[in-house]
Amino acid sequence: MPQVPQATIRKFMELMTMLPYMDVADHYLELEIQPSTYPMSYVGEQLDVGYFESQRELYNDDFTAPCALRLTFGEGSYGTEFIYDTKTTNSEDQDGYFHLSGGQPREVLEPFISKCQQLLYFGIAEGLDFRYEFYHDSGGHPPVDWEEHFQRQWLASYNVWAAARKMKDIYLDCGWNVNTSDRSGFRSDEFIERRATYWTKVVQPLLDIEERT
């Protein structure tokens, strides 16, 4: 592993003092922030040098550049790896990420932010729901070439998703505006209370059916 110059370390320290952190060290796989994508943890007394070294390792057994900081990791070969590079890297290494064109954070995250703003993705009791494209495009019909048992399981999961999707109306009733990022008119306390009631009365019974299917 290449030695990290002191100047780069100082830049990292400055950068890391400005980044928001989530307490995910003990349960990081429970906080999915994009499909199959989870935040890195850089805080916690249990983290040692070996941990930080392992988080710099890429899938091809290479390592991130000394000027780069990994912000997220994907589950297995899925998900999105967000890497914050503190300087421009002109490398021809096609096995790493250096050949990819970078972008400003707002530009890179805009598609995800837009889907959340438009309530294609939104928070449910179990976390963020990213299944819109998967189920919406299905028309409510399971794959025709699946066995009957798996089709029943698919339909049970679809029913849970369809019921959860109706919480979009609660968002809108509580003042969520899909055309702006301004949330000053959103009545979050009312929303949380109504969402909890709806989840208990409508979604949870369908989840129970799904578990038995």
Q: How many CB atoms lie within 10 A of CB 171?
A: 18
Is 110 within a domain? no
**Contact criterion met (CB below 8 Å) for 109 and 120:** no
Q: How many domains does the chain have?
A: 2
Q: What is the per-residue pLDDT across 108-158, written as a single tens digit (0 to 9) for each? A: 788 888 888 999 988 887 777 888 888 988 989 999 999 999 999 999 999
State what percent of residues in the chain have pLDDT above 90.
34
By DSSP bridging, strand 72-74 and strand 68-70 are unpaired
Confidence check: pLDDT of 25 > 80: no
Is 93 within a domain? yes
Question: Between the ranges 12-16, 63-67, 69-73, 163-167, where is the mean pLDDT highest?
Answer: 163-167
The structure tokens 């890179």 sit at 108
Tell me which of 85, 102, 119 is where a domain ends: 102
Is 125 within a domain? no
Q: What is the per-residue pLDDT across 74-106, written as a single tens digit (0 to 9) for each? A: 777 778 888 877 765 544 444 455 555 667 777
Which of 117, 32, 114, 142 minimizes the C-alpha distance to 80?
A: 32
Q: Are residue 136 and residue 197 in the same domain, yes or no? A: yes
How far apart CA 57 and CA 100 sit, in angstroms, is: 17
Q: Are residue 144 and residue 96 in the same domain, yes or no? A: no
Confidence of residue 190 (pLDDT cuts 50, 70, 90): very high
Tell me which of 86, 102, 118 is where a domain ends: 102
Confidence of residue 34 (pLDDT cuts 50, 70, 90): confident
86 Cβ neighbours under 8 A, 6+ residues apart: 8, 11, 12, 15, 67, 68, 69
* pTM flag (> 0.85): no
Residues spanned by the domain of 163: 131-212
Can you give the pLDDT at residue 24?
58
Q: What does the block give as tokens for 187? A: 């009545």
Q: Are residue 32 and residue 94 in the same domain, yes or no? A: yes
Tell me which of 52, 82, 102 is where a domain ends: 102
Q: Are residue 14 and residue 95 in the same domain, yes or no? A: yes
